Amino acid sequence: MGHTKDVVAASPDLLTVLAEPTRRRILDLLLESPRSVGDLVGELDASQPTTSKHLRVLREAGLVHVHPDAQRRVYALRPHRLAELDAWLAPYRRLWEGRLDALERHLDDNPATPRRTT
pLDDT for 89 equals 86
Q: In what order do the strands lie in the sheet with 72-77?
A: 35-36, 72-77, 64-69
**What DSSP letter does each residue of 40-51 carry, written as one string?**
HHHHHT--HHHH
Tens of pLDDT along the chain (118 residues)? 444 444 444 444 888 999 999 999 999 999 999 999 999 999 998 999 999 999 999 999 999 999 988 888 999 999 898 898 888 888 888 877 777 777 788 788 887 756 666 6
**What DSSP letter does each residue of 22-87 carry, written as one string?**
HHHHHHHHHHH--EEHHHHHHHHT--HHHHHHHHHHHHHTTSEEEEEETTEEEEEE-HHHHHHHHH
Alpha-carbon span 58 to 69, nearest angstrom: 19
pLDDT for 113 equals 58
pTM of the model: 0.69
pLDDT for 28 equals 96
pLDDT for 101 equals 73
